[in-house]
Amino acid sequence: MFKERWLFLVCFIVVLANAAPLDKDNEATITLNNYTIDEKGNYRFRFKSSNGIERDETGIKVYEGEPNEHLLVIGQHSYFNEKGEKVSILYSADETGYHILPPGALGTVTSGVPGNVVATLLG
């Protein structure tokens, strides 16, 4: 009788452990991964994961061949918060540093790159 109860308890614990909900981030997989770079050093990468995390980034050389030549980076990433709401962050980085941009700020990115060019780069 004791062995039967012990076996039942062990089986119950195993079933309970396997039925416990897992954090979906632990099982996330990459569903899209693209990366391109040209001979000048301009690049674009994009990835998506099965849990909704996404990132898209473009880096382009500006003022090429001039003393103030630098890489302008423009990108965005998004994820879902604890409430299930999508959170998106738009950012840029240039010779002055990293900047988080307000929503709809594509037309205000500086460094000599017009907003419509930036929008084209981000797709």
pLDDT digits (tens, 9 = 90+) for 101-115: 887 765 544 444 555
What contacts 19, CB < 8 A, 6 or more positions away?
none
Q: How far is CA 6 from CA 9, 14, 23, 43, 78, in A?
A: 5, 12, 30, 61, 48
Sheet with 97-101, strands from edge to edge, namely: 30-37, 43-49, 54-62, 70-80, 86-94, 97-101
Q: Which of 70, 71, 56, 66 lies closest to 120, judged by CA?
A: 56
The DSSP element (H or E) to which 18 belongs, if any, is helix 2-19
What's the Rg (C-alpha) of the chain?
A: 24
Per-residue pLDDT of the chain (123 residues; tens, 9 = 90+): 555 565 555 555 655 455 544 466 788 899 999 999 999 889 999 999 999 999 999 999 998 889 988 889 999 999 999 899 999 999 999 988 999 988 776 554 444 455 555 555 555
